[in-house]
Structure 1
């Protein structure tokens, strides 16, 4: 009888072991739900990365737009200052600004007017530096 019980328990143990092995193998196989879950995870991760890239791009574009607005504001203020000056208001000075650097271009009738224009522009808020391309022409008369 002891042998019968021992054989019975061995068979029961073997059946239990095989059942557990089959169950574990079945769990390792990915069904449609698991595959769908993985797809959702991948799409969510990609969307997160795309969102982060878009955020970085928008911030960069906003900075560029801000710089452009600042440059436009500086140019407008410099032109306003030049026109408001009694000695320079009749002159034709072209003003451009890039990243706070103001470039002056034109022909003036005296070196003193060139110096005055540079001094006025340099004193303006947010002007980092001035590129002087103003020229002196003794024959040029202020218009």
Structure 2
């Protein structure tokens, strides 16, 4: 058996105490968070597929990101009409809480 000096015994005691008490402070993952994340993935996929299905929007790389039901569209398109079309396509998807437009038109930087 290894003989520990006073400082080593304190360190061992402290580490054992941390292992005993700190796991109680962590929270278990909630199913709501997982379900919410899954719902965001589904919404992102639906919006992205709907944009790809719209022939006039296919030439553009429109990015779709969803957090807690809020869909953000970003990328560069040719005109304000393209932005409006992408927004309309996104609005047609059920379950979206809000749509944030971060798309720009080429050359002007307009939103």
For structure 1, list consecutive stretches of 5 or more residues without a partner in the other structure.
1-49
Partner of 2:77: 108
More relative contact order in 1 or in 2 (CA 8 Å, sep 6+)? 2
C-alpha distance in 1 between matches for 2:51 and 2:32: 28
Question: Would you tell me which structure has more helix in proportion to its own residues?
Answer: 1
SS state at 1:91 partner: coil
C-alpha distance in 2 between matches for 1:113 and 1:63: 36
Partner of 2:28: 57
For structure 2, list consecutive stretches of 5 or more residues without a partner in the other structure.
1-23
C-alpha distance in 1 between matches for 2:31 and 2:59: 37
**What are the equivalent positions in structure 2 for 1:1-143 lying under 5 Å apart?**
57-58=28-29, 61-137=30-106
Residue-by-residue CA offset, 1:83-113 (whole Å, 9 max, x unaligned): 0001011210111000110001101001100
Scaled by the length of structure 2, the TM-score of the pair is 0.70
Scaled by the length of structure 1, the TM-score of the pair is 0.55
Aligned residues: 85
| Structure 1 runs of 4+ with >2 Å offset | none
Over aligned residue pairs, what C-alpha RMSD do you find? Answer: 2.1
